[in-house]
Amino acid sequence: MEHINLVETFSEFKEFKNIERETMMRILEDVFRHMLSKKYGSADNFDIIVNIDKGDLEIWRNREIVEDGAIEDENLQIAYSEAIKIEPDFEVGEEVSEEIKMIDFGRREILTIRQNLMSKIQEYEKDNVYKKYKEKIGEIITGEVYQVWKKEILVLDDEGIELVLPKSEQIPTDFYRKGDTIRAVVSKVEMRNNTPAIILSRTSPVFLERLFESEVPEVFDGLITIKNIVRVPGERAKIAVESYDDRIDPVGACVGMKGSRIHGIVRELKNENIDVINFTNNSSLYITRALSPAKISSINILEAEKKAEVYLKPDQVSLAIGKGGFNIKLAGKLTGYEIDVYRETDVDSEDVDIQEFSDEIDQWIIDEFKAIGCDTAKSVLDLSIGDLVKRTDLEEETVKEVVRILREEFE
């Protein structure tokens, strides 16, 4: 029996690993039925049998036997004289089944079938990938770095599907080579030129949330709720958590014994500092916690303006602001308040840590003053210019400029 061998004729099928057997059979049947309909006018009287395992396909045409000269439709009917050539015992009114062989299709028809099959299968695969990853938005996936470019990284999942991690979605200190394993969250899935584009992210707050779910069982089980997350990727993050079970300490559970649970997350995020705080509806307390590790002396909430005036001792101001201003910036985003920081004023004991002036005085100069025991503004101002020049080995002009900056603080 001369079958239409799919493995030999359509060898590209081997590339399509993500199509289920039943779907492949349906696609094959649809394409061949469409071709038969064009060739014979109708395909309703054809049986198409697909055997994926053997890689073959059979097509049978069923026609009714009619008297010679009584044929009205050659596709649906066959003359008695022709029928008995197939089987001598046939009688008028019976049905004849004939196999349509490969030779019955012309070269152009075979090429068209082949092109239609490839097109249908590719279309199905693309649609399948799109639907699959559309459902995975917000989930962490693990893939292998396949190609590294200047603006993005091409990642392959375990099925060989292409994913993209743009530079803008990478942590600034991320560095990957081809073959490296990478973890990221599925951020966005869209169709571009009829091809699914799957965008990954390592900077999204959702990525941090999923990492907590994977490391902290209480978060995964819903015993601890993550109320809000804000990040400056690679630098600092703040996460507000809450538990409805009084027996569970949400912060302690998230951090783990000696930081065991949070260490894995910090490593994954390239040593990003993570502050875990207890959520509360008390605005003052929430802002106080959000500004951790700084200790606040007092706070004034301007509810109508969504502002908070925070007063701290001089040595706590730099902690509240944080390196690069990240601490106060993230505290504002976390709480939803615009936070203004003020030093507490006390005429009798007012002094300011010299480190507070790092935005105006170079760090190496500050270190020179600290080396001689002058670590506050007043301790510097209590000495003469000459003494400071001798003891620090700094240029006189430099010392004068520092003294000018420090005096302005108290005027």
For CATH 3.30.1480.10, list the domain ranges present in the chain: 4-131
Range 242-260 average pLDDT: 91
* Most confidently modeled range among 84-93, 196-205, 345-354: 196-205
Q: Where are the beta strands (DSSP E) in 151-206?
A: 152-156, 162-166, 181-192, 195-201
CB 242 within 8 A of CB 279: yes
Question: pLDDT per residue over 105-164, tens digit each?
Answer: 777 777 777 777 778 777 888 888 999 999 999 999 999 999 999 999 999 999 889 999
Residue 71 to residue 91: CA distance in whole angstroms = 15
Q: Is the pLDDT of residue 401 over 70?
A: yes
Q: Which amino acid is at 202?
A: R
CATH 3.30.750.24 is the classification of domain 4-131: no
Residue 344 to residue 353: CA distance in whole angstroms = 13
pTM: 0.66
Q: In a 10 Å sphere around its CB, with 0-12 CB exposed, 13-18 middle and 19+ buried, how is residue 364 labelled?
A: exposed
Helices 107-134 and 21-40 meet at what angle, rounded to 10?
A: 140
Per mean pLDDT, which range of 244-258, 272-286, 349-363 is the poorest? Answer: 349-363
Range 55-68 average pLDDT: 82
Q: Is the pLDDT of residue 291 over 80?
A: yes
For CATH 2.40.50.140, list the domain ranges present in the chain: 142-201
Q: Is the pLDDT of residue 328 over 90?
A: yes
For domain 142-201, give its CATH number from 3.40.50.720, 3.40.50.1860, 2.40.50.140, 3.40.50.2300.
2.40.50.140
Which one, of 213, 72, 85, 191, lies nearest residue 138 by Cα?
213
Q: What is the pLDDT of residue 102?
A: 67
Which top CATH class is 354-410? mainly alpha
For CATH 1.10.150, list the domain ranges present in the chain: 354-410
Q: What is the pLDDT of residue 9?
A: 45
Q: Is the pLDDT of residue 200 over 90?
A: yes
* Most confidently modeled range among 10-14, 27-31, 249-253, 320-324: 249-253
Joined tokens for residue 198: 């799957």
Confidence of residue 33 (pLDDT cuts 50, 70, 90): confident
Range 388-397 average pLDDT: 86
Q: What is the pLDDT of residue 88?
A: 85
